[in-house]
């Protein structure tokens, strides 16, 4: 438990820390990678290059300081962090490294304002949070290794099949190389792929499981990530998987992790709405197929937004789901090819907006799950809030560092 003095000090310094939080986290990562380069292997350097990881950590620090006197409010954030840490194999010995460089970064940025008393309070606050995370992570590790077929760390899998889903998405069907049992997972979770890239060492990547549990395989559907600006880098691991990995090849896989899944005990008999933008369809198709396989009676609404038929992935599976009596599906293209609508590849042309959501969905009593590009998710989040959907019925997952969803009310395309 935190001392009353520490709580008082942390709350007092929060207004001063917040404007400098991102400068602190930039300093922190530079320090840590320079002095403890062994931890660099746990971090996606693309997120570092574009600043996503720095912004995400800055937001987490501000949230922790703000809620320092009510740690229960941080429960969902701690669970997200713990699941991510376990997917990467973070261990208790890594926490002192982070604490050391974080405190040093605060001192570098805020200078003489960081008195000995403040440094002691921040150190205590970090140690308490670290203890909470370590305890939860050990629980997750224990759960992973205790289930039939379960494991910690990495296990060798073989690519049974490689199936193109669109011009930019390919599915990989994975089975354990040892022929052993495959543990179940919660639809919506992800696995970790560790690639020994022949030219550029890189961190492991998380990919959502895109098929229903209990099939005897794990399936991931990977989007080829192209450069986001001229002369920018392509997705290192996604390109490697698309271009170099074939059926029969081996991959090192970490066990299922993640807190994004449908909890029927929480949902009850309410309608379940799944809103997918682009490659965000992967965890949501797994959820929908799992719900259908369990023969739930809840009405299920599945909206898939894509650019056009060239990049539209897993559309046939969405159509198959729509054959079930309690499933309604809607496919939208925002940049359709000339014949896409006439050929029935999509149901509507346009963007996801408030008018569409109000017309098509049971807004006031449904449980909402959505995933996709950041702009798509921000737009959906803002619209659901504007329509009065309660926060506890809104569930989402980012691909990459968690960032605050605010900003534009304008409809934004999927990608």
Q: Residue 328 — φ and ψ, nearest 5°?
A: -115, 135
Closest by alpha carbon to 188, among 282, 83, 300? 282
Q: Is 365 annotated as a binding residue?
A: no
Whether residue 190 is annotated as binding a ligand: the answer is yes
Residue 50 annotated as binding site: no
85 is in an annotated binding site: yes
Annotated binding residue 126: no
- Site of tokens 């740690």: 71
Task: Determine the straight-line distance between the first and last CA of the chain, rounded to whole angstroms.
Answer: 45
Query: Which DSSP symbol is given to 186?
Result: -
Among candidate residues 137, 165, 225, 259, the one labeled active-site is: 137
The answer on whether 89 is annotated among ligand-binding residues is: no
283 belongs to an annotated ligand binding site: yes
Asked if residue 154 belongs to a known ligand binding site, the reply is no
Quick one: which of 330, 329, 384 has its CA closest to 358? 384
Q: Is 173 annotated as a binding residue?
A: no
Active site residue 138: no
33 is in an annotated binding site: no
Which tokens in the block code for residue 115?
Answer: 């008195």
137 classed as catalytic: yes
SS3 content of the chain, % helix, strand, coil (to 5): 45, 20, 35
Check whether 216 is labelled as a binding-site residue: no
In 61-100, which positions are buried (b, 16+ CB within 10 angstroms) versus exposed (e)?
Answer: bbebbbebeeeeebeeebebbbbbbbbbbbeeebbeebbb
Catalytic residue among 22, 29, 64, 95: 95
**Binding site membership for FAD: which residues?**
190, 205-208, 398-401
**Binding site membership: which residues?**
85, 190, 205-208, 278-283, 398-401
Catalytic residues: 95, 137
**Binding site membership for heme b: which residues?**
85
**Binding site membership for NADP(+): which residues?**
278-283
């Amino acid at each position: 438990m935190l001392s009353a003095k520490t709580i008082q000090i942390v709350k007092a310094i929060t207004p001063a820390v917040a404007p400098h939080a991102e400068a602190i986290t930039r300093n922190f990562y530079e320090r840590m990678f320079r002095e403890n380069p062994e931890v660099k292997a746990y971090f996606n350097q693309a997120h570092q290059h574009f600043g996503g990881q720095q912004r995400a950590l800055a937001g987490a620090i501000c949230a922790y300081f703000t809620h320092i006197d009510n740690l229960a409010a941080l429960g969902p954030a701690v669970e997200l962090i713990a699941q991510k840490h376990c997917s990467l194999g973070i261990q208790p010995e890594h926490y002192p490294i982070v604490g050391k460089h974080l405190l040093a970064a605060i001192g570098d940025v805020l200078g003489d304002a960081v008195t000995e008393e403040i440094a002691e309070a921040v150190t205590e606050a970090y140690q308490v949070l670290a203890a909470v995370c370590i305890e939860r992570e050990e629980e997750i590790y224990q759960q992973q290794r205790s289930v039939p077929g379960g494991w910690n760390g990495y296990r060798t899998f073989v690519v049974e099949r490689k199936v193109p889903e669109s011009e930019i998405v390919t599915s990989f069907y994975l089975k354990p190389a040892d022929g052993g049992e495959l543990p179940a997972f919660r639809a919506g979770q992800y696995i970790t792929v560790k690639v020994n890239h022949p030219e550029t060492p890189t961190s492991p990547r998380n990919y959502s499981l895109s098929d229903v549990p209990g099939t005897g395989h794990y399936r991931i559907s990977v989007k080829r990530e192209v450069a986001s600006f001229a002369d920018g880098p392509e997705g290192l691991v996604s390109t490697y998987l698309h271009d170099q990995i074939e059926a029969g090849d081996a991959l090192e896989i970490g066990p299922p992790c993640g807190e994004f899944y449908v909890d029927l005990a929480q949902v009850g008999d309410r309608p379940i709405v799944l809103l997918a933008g682009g490659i965000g369809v992967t965890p949501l198709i797994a959820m929908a197929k799992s719900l259908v396989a369990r023969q739930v009676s809840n009405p299920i609404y599945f909206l898939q937004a894509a650019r056009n038929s060239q990049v539209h992935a897993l559309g046939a599976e969405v159509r198959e789901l729509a054959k079930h009596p309690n499933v309604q599906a809607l496919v939208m293209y925002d940049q359709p090819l000339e014949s896409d609508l006439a050929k029935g590849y999509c149901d509507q042309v346009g963007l996801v907006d408030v008018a569409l959501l109000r017309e098509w969905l049971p807004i006031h009593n449904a449980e909402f799950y959505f995933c996709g590009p950041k702009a798509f998710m921000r737009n959906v989040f803002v619209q659901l809030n504007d329509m009065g959907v309660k926060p506890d019925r809104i569930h989402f997952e980012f691909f990459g560092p968690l960032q605050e969803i605010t900003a534009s009310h304008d409809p934004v395309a999927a990608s």
